[in-house]
């Protein structure tokens, strides 16, 4: 591993250290567009080490969502209800986390490998109906769009809390 493959964010709780390893990136959920919920959304987990002043560290995994409308023209980042990558951070730290996603995570080998593996899984699905074919094709287009995200799109996106979480 190269030192350039890592990203560090200073927070009030310590230094969050992110490494570009496939095992550190997880897709927890994948939602496809429906009539009731016309958007695509992926929940991504990112494992990191939290280094504290006393030289103590522990491994944590937190999550966030990338949501796109049905035609994939508008993207937002969303906090998860629990274990959010953005939670318990001040505004500066939240901005740094957004930069982490936009300037580092989407460019890592780990992120690209995880998304490419998911695309391959979708391509291998045994589809039986025209409706299922459309769902799989739409999901593949969404995943492919994730691979083509650029820093400006991420940095320009709003970070939203789930309505349940906002209370």
Per-residue pLDDT of the chain (167 residues; tens, 9 = 90+): 454 578 999 999 889 999 999 999 999 999 999 999 999 999 999 999 998 877 778 899 999 999 999 999 999 999 999 999 998 898 999 999 999 999 999 999 999 999 999 999 999 998 889 989 999 999 999 999 999 999 999 999 999 986 654 43
Spatial CA neighbour of 93 closest among 156, 19, 20, 13: 13
Q: In this predicted structure, what is the pLDDT of residue 142? A: 97
Contact 125, 140 (CB under 8 A): no
Instruction: Answer yes or no: is 58 within a domain.
Output: yes
Q: Is residue 54 part of a domain?
A: yes
Environment class of 24 (CB within 10 Å of its CB; exposed 0-12, middle 13-18, buried 19+): buried
How many domains is the chain partitioned into structurally? 1
| Whole-number pLDDT of residue 52 | 85
* Residue 121, domain member (yes or no): yes
SS3 of 48, please?
A: strand
Backbone angles phi, psi at 49, to 5 degrees: -105, 135
166 lies in some domain: no
Domain-embedded: residue 97:
yes
pLDDT at 4: 54
What's the Cα-to-Cα distance from 89 to each of 28, 29, 127, 158, rounded to whole Å? 22, 24, 43, 16
> What pLDDT score was predicted for residue 163?
63
Q: Which domain holds residue 112?
A: 3-160
Cα end-to-end distance, the chain, whole Å: 41
Residue 167 lies in a domain: no
What is the pTM for the complete model shown?
0.90
165 assigned to some structural domain: no
Answer yes or no: is 7 within a domain: yes
- Please report the pLDDT score of residue 164 as a whole number: 57
């Amino acid at each position: 591993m190269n030192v350039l493959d890592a990203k560090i964010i200073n927070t009030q709780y310590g230094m969050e250290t992110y490494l570009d390893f496939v095992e550190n990136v997880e897709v927890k959920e994948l939602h496809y567009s429906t009539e009731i919920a016309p958007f695509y959304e992926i929940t991504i987990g990112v494992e990191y080490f939290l280094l504290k002043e006393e030289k103590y560290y522990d491994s944590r995994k937190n999550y966030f969502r990338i949501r796109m409308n049905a035609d994939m023209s508008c993207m937002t980042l969303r906090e998860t209800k629990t274990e959010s990558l953005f939670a318990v951070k001040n505004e500066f730290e939240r901005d740094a986390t957004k930069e982490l996603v936009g300037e580092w995570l989407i460019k890592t080998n780990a992120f690209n490998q995880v998304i490419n593996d998911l695309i391959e899984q979708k391509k291998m699905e045994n589809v039986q109906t025209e409706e299922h074919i459309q769902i799989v094709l739409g999901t593949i287009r969404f995943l492919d769009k994730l691979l083509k995200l650029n820093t400006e799109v991420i940095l320009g996106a709003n970070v939203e809390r789930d309505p349940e979480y906002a209370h």
